[in-house]
Copies of this chain bind each other. A is one copy, B any other.
Amino acid sequence: MARSPRLEDVALAAGVSRQTVSNVINSPGIVREDTRERVSRAIADLGYRPHAAARSLRTRRSSTIAIHLDPYAGGISGVVLDRFVHALTDLAGVRGMRVLLYAARDHREEIGRLTELLDGGEADAIVITGTFHGDPRTRWLAGRQTPFVAFGRPWGEDDHHAWVDVDGAAGTRAATRWALESAGPEVAFVGWPSGSDTGDDREAGWRSALPTGDGLRLVSEESVSDARAVVAQALASGTAVDALVCASDSLAVGAHLAAVAAGRADLPIVGFDNTPAAEAIGLSSVEQRPERVASAALDLLLGPSESSGGASRHVLVEPQLVLR
């Protein structure tokens, strides 16, 4: 098998110089029409493809976005990130960008990997996920002047960097309103212990939709069995509950099991994340729309599809209530 053709080979075949071929590929506008066509034909005939490494060496750009793959949590979530990564790959491809994965167990190791990738010129933009209050990664990336975008808010930090997030409060608010309207006034919330940024945000949404500004709040760890126990106890206690809004689908599944056991199989329950588990059982849930998040993230990273630029440096995606 012959070695794959180079720029030079195409140039020879088309009767022009290397640079002209390069121009046809990278800035077709400056090449005269007939020349361009001749070159294009030669490219097609020879089946020429630019060699990424050579280009990258010269331009000092890799056209690659790196994204961290979180360790598999084993929980019910993960699907959101999965869809996000998929959408990112898809959309990045359209813009001629690649998506490279890296794994790391903790933030220290993550910064090590990032150093390798960035110094080695393997990636020129980064997407980080799961940000939290005082995240060291954002500071580090900003200090390096590396283009990056976070999937997750800075949570109170100075938000000098680009980020995209899902408006969790808006999601639980919509869920709560729907429950108030279709079920009754006593809409309880099943959430995680206070202190988690995301959890507190989702709780705030629920609270803000309540006419009285407050209601029954149940606390559970992120596990089906714990949620089941907590909800079972609440239902047994005789407290009036017309519907449940939950901080996650795991909690919602637990709540559902408790409701069925208590003979209240028709108790309206809304989960969060719209995972396959919620879909399987037929629970309503708040859908995060990861594809929109991915699209927004890319816009922030690369500019809104070749236009604007001074746009806002952050985007809050409105989630969607999926009723079942």
Contacts and interface: CB of A to CB of B under 8 A. Distances in A.
Interface string A73-87: 011111100110110
Interface residues of A, number: 56
Contact of A85 (B69, B93, B102, B122): B69
Given A64-B100, A98-B122, A100-B100, 15 more contacts: A1-B145, A49-B115, A52-B53, A52-B122, A53-B57, A69-B86, A72-B83, A76-B279, A76-B280, A78-B276, A85-B101, A99-B100, A224-B282, A250-B280, A253-B280
30 contacts: A47-B119, A51-B121, A52-B56, A52-B62, A52-B120, A52-B122, A53-B53, A53-B57, A53-B62, A57-B57, A64-B100, A69-B85, A75-B276, A76-B279, A77-B276, A78-B79, A82-B82, A85-B101, A89-B101, A89-B103, A90-B103, A98-B100, A98-B122, A99-B101, A100-B100, A224-B279, A253-B280, A253-B281, A254-B280, A277-B281
Contacts of A86: 69, 71-72, 103
Contacts of A31: none
Interface of A: 1, 4, 47, 49-54, 56-57, 62, 64, 69, 71-72, 74-79, 82-83, 85-86, 89-90, 93, 98-103, 113, 115-116, 119-122, 145, 224, 250, 253-254, 257, 260, 275-277, 279-282
